Amino acid sequence: MSGNSFGKLFTVTTFGESHGPALGCIVDGCPPGIELSEADLQADLDRRKPGTSRHTTQRREPDEVRILSGVFEGRTTGTSIGLLIENTDQRSKDYSNIAETFRPAHADYVYSHKYGFRDYRGGGRSSARETAMRVAAGAIAKKVLADKGVQVRGYLSQLGPIAIDQARFDWDEVGRNPFFSPDAEAAEQMAEYMDALRKEGNSIGARISVEATGVPVGLGEPIFDRLDADLAHALMSINAVKGVEIGDGFAVVNQKGTEHRDEMTPEGFLSNHAGGILGGISTGQAISAHIALKPTSSLRLPGRSINASGEEIEVVTKGRHDPCVGIRATPIAEAMMAIVLLDHLMRDRGQNADVTTDLPVLADVPTQGD
């Protein structure tokens, strides 16, 4: 229930610093009887892990996860599932000049103030390394959801100035380039752009989109735990995220009511501006969310800052870094969406399992790339 836990019924609690011995998490409340193995988790972890292309940080972690409990004879038991990933490739010496300094746009300053001191190696707990456990936990949620026909998929919709072209959208392309881009042409432009950026020593932001299909009608707990509110919480909790949109997001500011509303016919919805959520509850349409990730704070280009004594210093970060954290955020965003959806599916049936109706269930409009 403290800050390192997420979820009401399907709960994820994590631990682990960037340069500590291990990362771990406990997934509690998982429905029993689901087939689960390390391989199920490893697939998504491999999509996320560092060192897989020249465009991401060169730290090489195998990110091999072990399941320590909650699974017996290949199926979940319903008891808490303990997961563990050992850290193997920490290079603490890369950070030795950081102990007394506050790197601009990093969490050094705030962690030191909040807790009095911090594990400064590699960003400690504030490092994106902890997201590995979210991906592992999210893989469990995805497994359970898949059994129920719910699929969660993400992609990079924009990297810096390069936006994907919806006309060239292809889900299969997402897994074929290091950017999770569904647009092959844009992926090539991104590669060039990133090479230039790496030479420059700078970084850039990105926009990630996540979509869930097959979600039943009725998930979400008004008024505070609306499905979109919990999604916003989950997605904004990812390192570097500065914005969250559902459906048309900020475009709604200049939409008229007649333009925005998703009319209904017996054949189904006529549009999906709402992004699959109305009144905080899922409509059965595809749920779409988008996040904005800020550019990485660790740069080779010097930045002005202060040290713990308040003196002016210049900070240059050496070592291995992501010029664009957005590239690896796609599996993390998928994981968080999966966790929220499963938690809400369980909460909804906990309260409303006895509800039966013969109301019409509307089909969705075709989604992108179908």
**Nearest distance from residue 189's CB to a copy of itself, in Å?**
14
Rounded alpha-carbon distances, angstroms, from residue 225 to 7, 49, 248, 313? 11, 31, 21, 44
Residue numbers 241-260 binding a copy of itself by CB under 8 A: 241-260
Q: Among residue numbers 27 through 66, which ones bind a copy of itself (CB under 8 A)?
A: 28-33, 66
Residue of 17, 61, 63, 334 that binds a copy of itself (CB under 8 A) = 17
Q: How far is the CB of 221 from a copy of itself (least distance, A)?
A: 3
Question: Which residue in 90, 177, 209, 239 binds a copy of itself (CB under 8 A)?
Answer: 239
Looking at residues 82 to 101 of the shown chain, list those that interact with a copy of itself (rule: CB under 8 A).
Answer: 82, 84
* 167 vs 179: CA distance, rounded Å: 18
CA dist 113 to 107, 108, 124, Å? Answer: 10, 9, 15
Which residue reads 């229930």 in tokens? 1
* Residue closer to a copy of itself (CB basis): 172 or 256: 256
**Contact in structure between 150 and 212 (CB atoms under 8 Å):** yes
* 8 Å CB contact between 144 and 30: yes
In the list 36, 98, 210, 232, the residue contacting a copy of itself (rule: CB under 8 A) is: 232
CB of 339 to a copy of itself, least distance (A): 10
Cα pseudo-dihedral 22, 23, 26, 31, rounded to 10: -110
Query: Is 247 one of the annotated binding-site residues?
Result: no
Q: Cα–Cα distance between 152 and 332 in angstroms, integer? A: 11
Determine the interface stretch with a copy of itself among 40-48, 176-184, 188-196, 269-277 (rule: CB under 8 A).
Answer: 269-277
# residues contacting a copy of itself (CB under 8 A) = 161
Element (H, E) at 195: helix 184-200
Q: How far is CA 203 from CA 113, 182, 292, in A?
A: 27, 22, 14
Residues 312-351 that bind a copy of itself (CB under 8 A): 312, 346-351
How far apart CA 222 and CA 331 sit, in angstroms, is 28
Stretch that binds a copy of itself, among 23-31, 45-53, 167-175, 184-192 (CB under 8 A): 23-31
Name the residue nearer to a copy of itself (CB basis): 172 or 201.
201
126: annotated binding-site residue? yes
Residue 354 CA to its chain's centroid (Å): 33
Q: Please answer whether residues 183 and 165 qualify as being in contact, where contact means their C-beta atoms are separated by less than 8 angstroms.
A: yes
Rule CB under 8 A: is residue 205 a binding residue for a copy of itself? Answer: yes
Which CB atom, from 43 or from 99, has the smaller least distance to a copy of itself?
A: 99
Establish whether 153 is an annotated binding residue.
no
Determine if residue 127 is labeled as part of a ligand binding site. Answer: yes
Binding a copy of itself (rule: CB under 8 A), the pick from 167, 199, 223, 370 is: 223
**Residue 207 annotated as binding site:** no
Interface with a copy of itself, residue 272, by CB under 8 A: no
> Quick one: DSSP state of residue 129?
G
118 annotated to bind ligand: no
The interface with a copy of itself within residues 284-313 (CB under 8 A) comprises: 292-297, 299, 301, 303-306, 308-312
347 among annotated binding-site residues: no
C-alpha 146/C-alpha 213 separation (Å) is 10
235, 228 contact by CB (below 8 A): no
Does the annotation flag 124 for ligand binding?
no
Alpha-carbon gap, residue 260 to 280, rounded angstroms: 16
* Part in contact with a copy of itself (CB under 8 A); list of ranges 16-24, 36-44, 57-65, 175-183: 16-24
Give the count of beta carbons closer than 10 Å to the beta carbon of residue 182.
28
Whether residue 363 is annotated as binding a ligand: the answer is: no
- Of 194, 163, 215, 145, the residue nearest 328 (C-alpha): 194
* Structure tokens belonging to residue 184: 């092959």
74 contacts a copy of itself (rule: CB under 8 A): no
**Annotation: binding site for FMN:** 125-127, 239-240, 279, 294-298, 320
**Annotation: binding site for NADP(+):** 48, 54
